[in-house]
Chains A and B, each alone.
Chain A
């Protein structure tokens, strides 16, 4: 503990994995956070009557969770000290009906269309009002006009609304309105056993199904006090790296495609398809959905699985250098990606953003090295960091991570320990939290179990929470035509934050 905020939190008595602050201590938190800029906010969520926040305390290094009772559905906002808290606060307002005093009071997930208000609160009220008109921040200046886009977009992508304020060709402000894919995932997890609820974690954001299922399983195992067997640990690590590889290939290809360079896209897509055919053979599912369960893994690697996976990884390794050379030597491509959508390292640090967004802007955080967990405690990855913060930087981070993930996956598959696949999960009360590095960045899972071993409180946090506001910053002062490219370089999940 080194700073004002972490000292304030740690001084409060522990309850489960959290420190229970008094309302007065929580009220002092924003000021303390200003004095300790290094304490990164990971998530903010609630339960009826309580507000929770998760931080990463780098010097410790440890996760630091703070809670406080909330009276009369109002609590002091953290967003004045941590801009990344703002979207969380709007979400807490919509789901639990608690207002962040000093924050943004506009709705976020709630478009005024659900039959109830504050569906996660102790007593949801029926909603009788007509749907809400969204409010966007005003922009002043001569010749400013608006371009509304979505929720239905031109491609095969997730729905969301983007409101551009444009002056000529230049974006003055972009504001996203999300919530279109809100499925009530957290509510559906309540009252279920961790095993039954794992299917929802696996479907928070389908492209990160392994990472979220991994984080959720680790949180459940921590709550119950059990550990998965060594073979399951190695298989989890292999799956997490395979997921990183197929998504990085996808993203890298799509970024090039948005810069009108279809050849790289076609090659990356073909290599990715080869990998997904191997994962299907190895794990019975192309995206490895539901393969990780609390306690271990759902099934063993199929007989020819290892061979198929290694062959697919070899094919990728063989072709990556050639793809990289084409990327590096084409001026038309470089012209589009270099110095486009720049995210300043200072801003990225203020948000505490992770994944390729952080690592392209000098923030070297990676959950696998920041807070090592099995199998990375014995197999640490080398984490690349760049400082350019542009589309090129974010594309390059993915490119640099590919060989490293291939190395890790190959090592894990080749040295797979023998033994059990799953440990027993006794039904008992407990609370757990875990952080796992997905392809986008760190995925956090928290849950609280009652005496019967059923979920009483849960939160799943996708790294996209902090990437969305940074997309808005990255687009500013760029031309409208570069938006798809910048957006693809960040590739935030809609479903992951819509919950």
Chain B
């Protein structure tokens, strides 16, 4: 395969320049302690120091997805922490729910949760997923992930910034690591 000529100078420059990756955010200790209390020792052993995340948009405005997607860009590079998004709920430890949980998405969300093996976490990300956000009270909205599932962690924001997403997911990793 002909290697693109213009890539060579770029590669050399990249070797000499700083990495684009941003440092990890700090995680509040009380969040870690609270999460640790929710997880029994046996589950800790099984999850280890990595998390597979299945994201489900339960009716968001799509801005929460934009920011969740940004976690995979080279700047946040989520996989360096042992966190990765997976396609199948059968491979997932964390269900990341965004959106206010529309009535039309309730059944699909429950199916996704049911397909995940235990132990499993539910994270409600974004103000909508916490309690319905601005869409609270609508005939078409259930009012957050908690109206259908046991929520372990909430990540506030409209949408949460990638740092806020990372902070929450790292808190789960930390909680698991502390026996």
A: residues with CB less than 8 A from B are 109, 111, 113-116, 119, 124, 131, 151-152, 154-159, 179-185, 187-188, 199-200, 203-207, 209, 250, 266, 269-270, 272-273, 276, 280, 286-287, 289, 322, 325-326, 329-330, 493-496, 498
Contact = CB atoms under 8 A, between A and B. Distances in A.
A287 B159 contact: yes
Nearest to A269: B73
Contacts of B112: 152
B57 interface: yes
Contacts of B56: 152, 159
B80 interface: no
Given A206-B66, A273-B73, A329-B4, A113 B106 contact: yes
A248 to B, nearest CB: 14
Given A113-B103, A156-B85, A493-B62, A183 B138 contact: yes
A209 B140 contact: no
Contacts of A187: 138-139
A270 B4 contact: no
B178 interface: no
A206 B62 CA distance: 5
Contacts of A184: 135, 138-141
Interface of B: 4, 6-7, 10, 20, 55-70, 72-76, 85, 87-88, 99-100, 102-108, 111-112, 134-135, 137-141, 158-159, 161
Given A180-B102, A183-B141, A158 B70 contact: no
Contacts, number: 147
Contacts of B99: 181
12 contacts: A113-B106, A124-B139, A156-B65, A157-B57, A159-B57, A159-B59, A183-B141, A184-B140, A185-B138, A205-B61, A206-B63, A287-B159
Given A152-B112, A180-B108, A181-B102, A114 B139 contact: yes
Most chain B beta carbons < 10 A, residue from A203, A276, A286, A493: A203
B4 A266 contact: no
Given A152-B111, A183-B59, 20 more contacts: A113-B106, A154-B88, A155-B85, A156-B55, A156-B68, A157-B57, A182-B102, A183-B61, A183-B140, A183-B141, A184-B139, A188-B137, A199-B134, A203-B61, A203-B63, A203-B135, A206-B63, A207-B63, A273-B73, A286-B161
A158 B57 contact: yes
Given A207-B66, A330-B4, A495 B135 contact: no
A289 B73 contact: no
Contacts of A269: 70, 72-75
Nearest to B137: A188
B4 A326 contact: yes
A111 B104 contact: yes
A115 B63 contact: no
Most chain A beta carbons < 10 A, residue from B6, B88, B135, B139: B139
Nearest to B56: A152
A146 B62 CA distance: 28
A494 B61 CA distance: 8
Nearest to B1: A332
Nearest to B88: A154
A180 B62 contact: no
Contact of A151 (B62, B108, B137, B140): B108
A206 B70 contact: no
A181 B108 contact: no
A119 B102 CA distance: 15
B139 A322 contact: no
Task: Please give me the 9 A-B residue pairs with the lowest Cβ-Cβ distance, nearest first.
Answer: A206-B63, A184-B138, A269-B73, A154-B87, A184-B140, A206-B61, A203-B61, A181-B59, A206-B62
Nearest to A157: B65
Contacts of A322: 6, 10
Contacts of A326: 4, 6-7
A124 B140 CA distance: 13
Most chain B beta carbons < 10 A, residue from A180, A266, A326: A180
Contacts of B66: 206-207, 250, 287
B105 A289 contact: no
B8 to A, nearest CB: 12
A269 B134 CA distance: 29
Nearest to A115: B139
A280 B70 CA distance: 14
Contact of A273 (B60, B62, B68, B75): B75
A177 to B, nearest CB: 10
Nearest to B55: A156
Contacts of B59: 159, 180-183, 495, 498
Contacts of B141: 183-184
A56 to B, nearest CB: 26
Contact of A114 (B137, B140, B159): B140
Nearest to B111: A152
A147 B85 CA distance: 24
Contacts of A156: 55, 57, 65, 68-69, 85
Contacts of A200: 134
A183 B133 CA distance: 11
B105 A181 contact: yes
A19 to B, nearest CB: 32
A188 B138 contact: yes
A203 B103 CA distance: 18
B62 A494 contact: yes
Contacts of B111: 152
A495 B59 CA distance: 7
B78 to A, nearest CB: 11
Contact of B104 (A113, A204, A250, A496): A113
B13 to A, nearest CB: 11
A273 B66 CA distance: 11
A131 B108 CA distance: 13
A159 B104 CA distance: 10
Contacts of B106: 113
A119 B103 CA distance: 13
Contact of A158 (B60, B74, B134): B60
